[in-house]
Chain A
């Protein structure tokens, strides 16, 4: 028996899905009878060689699992219509396949088979390779990594396979409010008969005038790695479509090829799609003629990447992301003392960094917002430190101290406030900024802030330009909790 025939036969021989609950306690819900779960009292079976050695543990486990289950959130009701849409699509694909099989049997003309195959391929690639419902994709807050992955997979040509799949949603933890959202992304390696490519898609709302926003006009985020080709076109709907190609490494020698398509919408939302030749992005930055993808093009063309970037599936995901003024960087800028001069800024997963300038020099100020369960750190071991409890129950921490292992002239002022709901604002002001600092949201590590041009960091002033009192006032500003 040939392999395919054997596979079909083995599938037919699988044990059918049959009700299994005829001997277990039941509970009645509506007009359906369902098996009861989690509260049964039936005795456990012994282990493979007799009674399990810790009966107390075994007896406590159902209760513990129930306790954990009680903490799970309710499911999103939208999952039902999404499941129905998914089911309709499964049924549609199945009918096409059945029709194709019938035609192939009735008409032994190869051309017909080719046409049908193409019809199915088109259906799968245009609508979904993971049979994602039409119009489905990342939607309301939070956008999840799984949604991103599903949407990306659904937009890839159906003839290839995917591997090394990973993704990230708009939250790092489920309790994170939109204020501290991050850019959702999905990345994978797409492989077809011609080779592999790393593919990545990311949704964002870059802050105006930020380094990230410059890409819309073909300005590289990081000047150390400019594009070899880049064009920007204004679309009829007002959005900008930037197409960039990089074929050389940092030294100018041939390197892994990188195609990038970025759609910047009029409302500030961005979809960026990257394709790397040979596989996932090669982290090696030196010359290597035998490196990943050298001399090869990514498997997806710019047109294909453009179709992914402009697909409507991303729109609702972008709409769900907070606008720049409602993220940490936006709030931080709004709560700084009036007249503060900001020379550089950037965002990270939980926060933002700005470089401030006054007549005495530069101050590096970072803000981070998190939902924390435990109390703030104590002043134990810190000479210049204070903690307080505010009338609304919030607790504060403020300290002036040297920077870890750095030279003694590097100092930082640290302030934190934890509100009763767990929202915690942390500020860190240092005296080590440089005027040419560019804080970037590095595209290799979504959500990670890197500072370019800081090869020889040195202090800019003796102390940060904000006092501990000013920092405490900034941290306690109600705009952080709105």
Chain B
């Protein structure tokens, strides 16, 4: 079980940041600068509570939930505080060397509402059950199913029949 010291926290962060960062990358649709900011913010939130979190049986689960909720908080803040501007902001930085279809998948994720995207990432990449996702996001199980269904429909519309090919490419 992890302890509560600064060194313990840094060790925890070093061990699990790669995994958290990958989730953050999916949540931000491949914007890895934004994903790093999200990871940093998450670590910042965890640190003051580490004495308590470090004693938990599953500190990573707490960290992961914090990451997802922080992402959704940021999205809510953005949607309420930002307005359209004539100046085109920086396009999200994307990983290098992606085949076109992988970029298309990221573009498809980017088209989803943040909450729907979070549901989809948790369900289909993190492999969480509907109940677990519902608890993480403070939603009902029915709402998670609706969001999941809606996200799949949307993604399916963007990707068409290409997705199985992408999955096979990996193997």
Contacts and interface: CB of A to CB of B under 8 A. Distances in A.
Q: Do A and B bind each other?
A: yes
Contact of A61 (B97, B129, B163, B170): B163
Q: Which of B44, B85, B89, B90 has most chain A Cβ within 10 Å?
A: B90
B90 A32 contact: no
A119 interface: no
B32 A73 contact: yes
B87 A445 contact: yes
Interface SS of B by simple majority: helix
A75 B35 contact: yes
A75 B48 CA distance: 22
A195 interface: no
Contacts of A40: 127
A84 B127 contact: no
Given A54-B156, A162-B81, A167 B32 contact: no
B8 to A, nearest CB: 10
Given A68-B30, A166-B90, A161 B81 contact: yes
Contacts of B72: none
A36 B89 contact: no
B75 to A, nearest CB: 13
Contacts of B82: 163-165
A63 interface: yes
Interface string B69-103: 10000000000011101110111011111100010
Contacts of A283: 86
Contact of B36 (A66, A76, A161): A76
Interface string B1-15: 110001001111111
B34 A146 contact: yes
A398 B128 CA distance: 55
Given A34-B16, A145-B89, A63 B129 contact: no
Interface size, B (range): 35 or more
B95 A72 contact: yes
B136 A61 contact: no
Contacts of A45: 129-130, 145, 148
Contacts of B125: 37-38, 62, 65-66, 69
Contacts of A168: 89-90
A172 B43 CA distance: 27
Interface of B: 1-2, 6, 9-19, 21-23, 25-26, 30, 32-37, 39-48, 50, 56-62, 64-66, 69, 81-83, 85-87, 89-91, 93-98, 102, 105-106, 120-121, 123-130, 132, 135-136, 138, 142, 145-146, 148-149, 152, 155-156, 159, 163-164, 166-171
Nearest 4 pairs of A and B residues by beta carbon: A87-B47, A83-B43, A86-B44, A40-B127
19 contacts: A20-B132, A21-B61, A29-B15, A33-B60, A45-B130, A45-B145, A48-B145, A54-B152, A56-B164, A57-B159, A72-B95, A83-B43, A84-B9, A131-B44, A147-B33, A161-B81, A166-B89, A169-B93, A187-B87
Given A15-B135, A32-B59, 11 more contacts: A14-B138, A17-B69, A21-B132, A32-B16, A42-B129, A48-B145, A67-B170, A68-B98, A75-B39, A86-B40, A146-B37
